[in-house]
Amino acid sequence: MVNIHTSRDLTHTFQEGDYALVIDRRQRRYMFKLIPRQKYSTHLGIVPHDELIGKEEGYRFATSAGHVLLAVKPTLADFTKRMPRIATPVYPKDMGTILVLGDIFPGARVLEAGTGSGAVTAVLARAVGDTGKVITYDVRQDMQDKAKKNLASIMPNATQVTFKIGDVYEGIEESSLDRIVLDLPDPLKVVPHAAKALVPGGIILSFVPTVLQVHDFTHALQDSDAFGMVETVETLMRPWAVAGRAIRPSLRMVGHTGFITTARRVAPRLRLPEEAAETSPEEQPESE
């Protein structure tokens, strides 16, 4: 059972224990695990799991009530949107930004906090690959139990992930970290520990829902003198409806999720005599 692409190892045929993502005529999506002799009931009729087991992805079939459905295996984004959760997981649109601006690469040593439902953990685990490491802290055992289950159900052999019960505000035990990815209320409290734990040039990234959290985190980074290149972005994704020649933005979109702030671990500022001081690179506007 390998549910999510981690390399070219995924078979394209539904197997017992795989997740199926089933899509109806109105593009509504349903996800369930395939168990022999079980049935999935929707208002569109009943789907016997055995109808899918052994079939190729992209399979079309009719329910007991005569509705035609399409079945594929979920992508990692499909799974994180629908997986069991306690904490609110990060949305796929923000995952893309986290991976790119956080510069998560194969083989990276990444510290994550808090684990929550494990959506970011799974995305980081796939990005760092078998040669990387994701150490994920949470203060709550119930969160980590849920996250472990979620990860095991899609990446059963993810030996690159270490779950740790711990308060990241109190300290980080690991060193030589390439990246730190935070999704918790007070990322500013992690700044002094991150300054010691990150490699030179390493990246700290935080995802927070409100601007006051961005303000506090940014000031903590600037005041610490161990970080530079502090930047904040917000990712807006507007889906479009394309029906024949009626092409327009979708009537519904996710209005707000959060802000992503990144900074690099750098040397302290140079204190030049006032007359010789040039504008520091961070004070110059970017030319792009």
Ligand X SMILES: C[S@@+](CC[C@H](N)C(=O)[O-])C[C@H]1O[C@@H](n2cnc3c(N)ncnc32)[C@H](O)[C@@H]1O
Write phi, then psi, for 66 (nearest 5 degrees). Answer: 85, 15
CB of 237 to ligand X, least distance (A): 17
**Residue 28 CB, nearest approach to ligand X (Å):** 23
How do strand 177-182 and strand 109-113 relate by DSSP bridges? parallel
Minimal distance, residue 143 CB to ligand X, in Å: 4
Instruction: Dig out the tokens for 200 from the structure.
Output: 């030179």
The backbone torsions φ and ψ at residue 204, rounded to the nearest 5 degrees and listed phi first, read -110, 135
In angstroms, give the least distance from the CB of 225 to ligand X.
23
Secondary-structure percent of the chain, ordered helix, strand, coil, rounded to 5: 25, 30, 45
The DSSP string of 33-65 is E--TT-EEEETTEEEEHHHHTTPBTTEEEE-TT
Task: Give the number of residues written for the chain.
Answer: 288
Q: How far is the CB of 181 from ligand X (least distance, A)?
A: 8
Phi, psi of 171 (to 5 degrees): 155, 165
Phi, psi of 287, deg, nearest 5:
-85, -10
Q: State the nearest-atom distance from the C-beta of 81 to ligand X, in Å.
A: 11
32 binds ligand X (CB under 6 A): no
Q: What is the smallest separation between the CB atom of 224 and ligand X, expressed in angstroms?
A: 18
Pair of tokens at residue 55:
């079939």
Binding positions for ligand X, 93-152, rule CB under 6 A = 113-120, 137-140, 143
Nearer to ligand X, 74 or 118 (CB): 118
Tell me which stretch binds ligand X (CB under 6 A): 54-62, 96-104, 152-160, 166-174: 166-174
Q: 92 with 80: CB under 8 angstroms?
A: yes
> Of 72 and 190, which CB lies nearer to ligand X in the complex structure?
190
Rg of the chain over Cα atoms, rounded to whole angstroms, equals 22
Q: Are 68 and 27 contacting, i.e. CB atoms less than 8 angstroms apart?
A: no
Candidates 67-75, 86-94, 100-108, 214-222: pick the segment binding ligand X (CB under 6 A): 86-94
Of 123 and 226, which has the nearer Cβ to ligand X? Answer: 123
Applying CB under 6 A, the site for ligand X has a residue count of: 22
Give me the 176-215 binding string for ligand X, x by CB under 6 A, dash otherwise. -------xx-------------------------------
Residues binding ligand X (CB under 6 A): 87-90, 113-120, 137-140, 143, 167-169, 183-184
